[in-house]
Amino acid sequence: MSAETESTGAAATDRRRSGPACPRCARRGFLLSNLAGRIERSVGERAGARARDLLALDDERLAAAIAPADWRRRLREAGAAARAAAAGPPGDRRPGEEAERRRAGAPRAAEAGRGGGGWSICAHSPLPAALDVLDASRPHALFGRGDRELLAAIEPKRAVTIVGARRAGPYGREVAFELGRALAGAGIVVVSGLALGIDAAAHEGALAGGGATLAVLGPGAERAYPRSAGGLYRRVLDSGAAISELPGAPPTFRWMFPSRNRLMAALSGLTVVVEAAERSGSLITAEMAGDCGRIVGAVPGPVSSWRSSGTNGLLADGAAVIRDARDALDALLGPGADPAPITGPQLGVEGAATLDAVETGAATPDAVAVAAGLELGSALRALATLERHGYLTCDHGGRWTRTMLQAPAPSAPSAGCGSR
Amino acid sequence: MLARTRTLAIVGVDATGVDVEVDIRRGLPAFTLVGLPDAAVREARERVRAAIVNSGFEFPLQRITASLAPADLRKAGPGFDLAIAAAVLVAGGQLEGAALERWWLAGELGLDGSIRPLSGVLAMAEQAGHLDGDGIAVAAANATEARLVEGLRVASLGGLRDLVALASGEVPRAPAPEPSPLRGGAPLPDLADLKGQPGLRRGLEVAAAGGHAALVVGPPGAGKSLAARRLPSIMPPLSRREAIEATKIASVAGRPCRDGTLASRPFRAPHHTISTAGLVGGGSPPRPGEITLAHHGVLFLDELGEFSRPALEALRQPLEDGAVTIARARGSVRFPARFQLFAAANPCPCGHGEGSPRCGCSPERIRAYAARLSGALADRFDIALGVEQPSAAALDGDPGESSEVVAGRVAAARKAQRVRLGEGRSNATMSDRDIAETAGLDRDARSRLVDGHASARLSGRGWMRVIRIARTCADLAGSRAVTADHVDEALSMRRRGGR
């Protein structure tokens, strides 16, 4: 815990030192905001492929292609907004500039400065090297909130992207949660998109695992999207970061999501699709990951379930089979590699007996107490402790089951925590 | 000639005063009844006529108008007979009105002039005690119930003729008929019948001690209903005020108290096909539902997953407020409904549970069932407990602790809560503020909760729920402070999921 606090502190000083993205690079973000509606009309149904091609163009060509009539004016506006954003507190600005900035899609001055507020980085700050795989469509600048250092230090070998269906089933949510929790516990940064369903479960898991998680958002990092994820968004900011290619909180358009997906695909060395239907945004992310040479993995699901048709398809096409965090680490780092133990804490005698009882099928406190040879009170306390350490879960009906977390091999008797 | 008498009408589970006026004047013989009477009240004309004649009085062959005031209150039932008959007799000059007017008259008439008992007499007597008057005159069979109200004069009438005595200033005391031998408290079933099952026993004890709503999930034969029926036996006895309330409600619902003993803790177990109105109350005029009949007692919902969604949703507000308000175009009625909720469910549609080899449910069905259960009111339960069928050894073994022993611990825990929170409060009703001020968590308990928050997916609401249960565990242990062990026990039995 204390190590994290320190790193956040370090990030805060770093942020001040390195300053925001330079106006030249930040202009791209403001330009995209400015042109957002036009881009939406231009890419039509094929948002995935078209948006990537468009984003590969430089500012002038992009503006001219999208808004042939008034591209110079829009470019000027975006440039002014970027300069204004870089200029600092609104008090220094000339009159009328704020209105101009707003028109160009910049965040309200008050919003940008709120609570430690947003930050931005660009190629000169510099951007994470991981994004280089995007070649021409590499973002010029990124706008974010939360722990800036997390983004600056991200390495593909230490990050896993978890994506999947918004309409996820309990199976997918459980797997995503456990993957997020175990990977975060192993010191891996969990990257996802804050969407409902799988994305949210992955973020929740990473937070529960006490690790850092990065939310990559389409329409700006200054607010939660979807709005219902507000609570999760704040918790992600507390121990991680949210980033976006677009500044402020621009209106939302469909093309923003596939273009955000390419960032998620590039930032990590492995993209895991947990549950996805046949035609879905998660498959676009997987395709993009494959295109940039990243590893693609998928969690197998029932062949009869529409929710798993996309992931099973990926597996048929040769994606890595991801059954648990161990598989994910093997895919990311090579078989057998072990960045950090992903076993839980050492267990005491009662804890081990209780875990054993649940593993052999005891689901209720009475059954556990009998199988473990414990008094009811001790069994109840041991169950609570094992749940807290992540070994067990309990459903709404009070029945206990085992999670994927492995217990460490019994070592010399030490300060066991299973019995406390 | 005009005469006025007074009676009482039941509105919800309380009574309200009703004035009966009778006017007799010359004209074609007729008997009209005004003031929103329902069919049973309108039929009073026939009963009154026959009863008067058969009691040796004379029925005036003139134009009779009887009015029940307030006129906008819908009158239901046969309870107005006695007051109407008395007013007719006074208006016709056959009885002296001065003394009669000061009595509250409540009774149904038989054609032979006898007076039959009513339901809801305790509520009427209570109201009569609040209002001014000489006392209440009721059927002999109701007199015991009316006498439960302290300081109220009760006239016990055997027949219409007894009005003569009442009118002349005496208080008739017709003997009550023998109470039916069927009534009279059968002893509550004892917890000793529940063999083995320490987890279920513990859950029951914690639920009773803290007033926590509990959900028990397990296969058929795991003793869920058996345990639920024994819950009243380990709860502390009702206070006199509570017992009067429970008796009053039972009486309004048609189970009058004949022998003068007050109700014990009600136990209501409605079938899962019950309608929303049947559960929370409804109809026109509004009648109390199961939750009101369970007031101060236990409401047991067996097969929670099978109850209709609307019925369960309708339970939310009463669970929060301890009362339900039924609104009708003619005004609203408030029914008390402070009950201990106890529910049972099977782990899956077939009942054996997903993990069991005997379970034949498809995953889809299991998932749908789980969704029903977790949706159904689940966020109102504090405790969720999985149970199994007891082992053969346990069934063959000694009986468990008796209700008396457990009730002793529960009573001590309740007393601690009373001292801390005030009269009639339990840990289940602790507000966030109560928790901050009086929960008494020690250092370890706090850090245990923080750990639980970080890793056991404890939501804000779940956090408060754990503190409430932990407080009850501490009260049962007679501990002033809530320790880490109490928090652990609470963490293990708290209900998961939900918001």
Query: In terms of pLDDT, which residue wins out, B363 or A65?
Result: A65
Cβ atoms within 10 A of the Cβ of B347, count? 31
Domains and CATH numbers, chain B: 2-167 (3.30.230.10), 191-429 (3.40.50.300)
Cβ atoms within 10 A of the Cβ of B339, count? 27
Q: How far is B429 from chain A (nearest CA, A)?
A: 22
What are φ and ψ of residue B92, in 5° steps? -85, 0
Tell which residue, B85, B88, B41, B42, has the closest CA to residue B64: B88
Q: Dump strand ranges (E) for B107-162.
A: 108-109, 115-116, 135-139, 154-157
Mutation to test the B interface, candidates A380, A391, A393, A419, most B Cβ within 10 Å? A380
Query: In terms of pLDDT, which residue wins out, A202 or A334?
Result: A202
Digit-coded pLDDT (tens) for A162-180: 999 988 878 888 899 989 9
Mutation to test the A interface, candidates B215, B346, B379, B488, most A Cβ within 10 Å? B488
**Strand partners of residue B332:** B327
Tell which residue, A227, A222, A157, has the closest CA to residue A188: A157
CA distance B89 to A167: 76
Task: Find the mean pLDDT for residues A238-246.
Answer: 89
In the DSSP assignment, the letter for residue B188 is P
Go through chain B and tell me how many residues it has: 499
Query: Using the beta-carbon criterion (under 8 Å), do B216 and A381 form an inter-chain contact?
Result: no
Q: Across the interface, which of B217, B384, B493 has its CB nearest the CB of A380? A: B493
* Percent of chain A residues topping a pLDDT of 90: 21
Crossing angle of helices A71-87 and A59-66, in 10° steps, is: 130
Exposure string over A137-167, b if 16+ CB within 10 A, otherwise e: bbbbbbbbbbbbbbbbebebebbbbbbbbbe
The pLDDT of residue A339 = 59
Task: Find the mean pLDDT for residues A339-360.
Answer: 81
Query: Using the beta-carbon criterion (under 8 Å), do A366 and B387 form an inter-chain contact?
Result: yes
Tell which residue, B203, B192, B7, has the closest CA to residue B87: B7
**Residue of chain A whose Cα is closest to the Cα of B374:** A396
Query: Using the beta-carbon criterion (under 8 Å), do A420 and B484 form an inter-chain contact?
Result: yes
Q: Are B24 and B92 contacting, i.e. CB atoms less than 8 angstroms apart? A: yes
Q: Is the pLDDT of residue A104 over 70?
A: no
Sign of the dihedral through C-alpha B428, B433, B436, B440: negative
Q: Dump strand ranges (E) for B374-487.
A: 383-386
CA B46 vs CA B36, B49, B59, B74: distances in Å: 17, 5, 11, 20
Query: Using the beta-carbon criterion (under 8 Å), do B485 and A395 form an inter-chain contact?
Result: no
CA B202 from chain center: how many Å? 26
Q: Are A247 and A109 contacting, i.e. CB atoms less than 8 angstroms apart? A: no
Tell which residue, A278, A281, A315, has the closest CA to residue A299: A315
CA distance A122 to B186: 82
Q: Please return the burial class of A304, using the count of CB atoms within 10 Å of its CB with bins 0-12, 13-18 and 19+.
A: exposed
Q: Across the interface, which of B451, B489, B495 has its CB nearest the CB of A381? A: B489
Tell which residue, A149, A118, A151, A154, has the closest CA to residue A29: A118
Contact residues on chain B for A380, CB-CB shorter than 8 A: 199, 202, 488-489, 492-493
Q: How far is A118 from chain B (nearest CA, A)?
A: 26
pLDDT per position in chain B (499 positions), as tens?
Answer: 899 999 999 988 889 999 999 999 999 999 999 988 888 888 889 999 999 999 999 999 999 999 998 888 888 888 999 999 999 999 999 999 899 999 999 999 999 999 999 999 999 999 999 998 899 999 999 998 999 998 899 999 999 999 999 999 888 888 877 655 544 456 678 888 888 888 999 999 999 999 999 999 988 888 899 999 999 999 988 888 889 899 999 988 888 777 777 778 899 999 999 999 999 998 877 889 999 999 999 999 998 888 888 888 888 888 888 899 888 777 788 999 999 999 999 888 888 776 666 777 776 777 778 777 777 677 788 898 988 888 787 787 778 888 889 999 999 999 999 999 988 788 988 888 888 888 888 888 888 888 777 666 677 778 888 999 999 999 999 999 999 999 999 988 887 754 3
Give the DSSP H/E element, type plus range, for residue B479: none
**Residue of chain B whose Cα is closest to the Cα of A368:** B199
- Count CA within 13 A, CB hemisphere, residue A339: 20
Domains and CATH numbers, chain A: 2-17+117-333 (3.40.50.450), 343-420 (1.10.10.10)
CA distance B237 to B241: 11
Contact residues on chain A for B347, CB-CB shorter than 8 A: 397, 399
Largest CA distance in chain A: 80
Give the DSSP H/E element, type plus range, for residue B190: none
Task: Find the mean pLDDT for residues A101-114.
Answer: 45
Among A212-216, A369-373, B207-211, B492-496, the range scoring the smallest mean pLDDT is: B492-496
Q: Is the pLDDT of residue A55 over 90?
A: no
CA A316 vs CA A70, A275, B280: distances in Å: 48, 15, 55
Mutation to test the B interface, candidates A1, A4, A360, A395, most B Cβ within 10 Å? A395
Tell which residue, A241, A291, A242, has the closest CA to residue A271: A291
Contact residues on chain B for A369, CB-CB shorter than 8 A: 198-199
- Count CA within 13 A, CB hemisphere, residue B380: 21
Q: Where are the alpha helices (DSSP H) in A186-323?
A: 198-208, 230-239, 256-267, 281-291, 309-316
- Count CA within 13 A, CB hemisphere, residue A405: 32
Average pLDDT score over chain A: 80
Sign of the dihedral through C-alpha B215, B220, B221, B222: negative
Sign of the dihedral through C-alpha A380, A386, A387, A393: negative
**Residue of chain B whose Cα is closest to the Cα of A389:** B455
Tell which residue, B495, B497, B483, has the closest CA to residue B449: B483
Query: Using the beta-carbon criterion (under 8 Å), do B217 and A210 form an inter-chain contact?
Result: no
Q: Is the pLDDT of residue A312 over 90?
A: yes
CA distance B384 to B378: 9
CA distance A339 to A205: 19
Q: Is the pLDDT of residue A110 over 60?
A: no
Contact residues on chain B for A377, CB-CB shorter than 8 A: 202, 485, 489
Give the DSSP H/E element, type plus range, for residue A145: strand A141-146
The pLDDT of residue A91 = 45
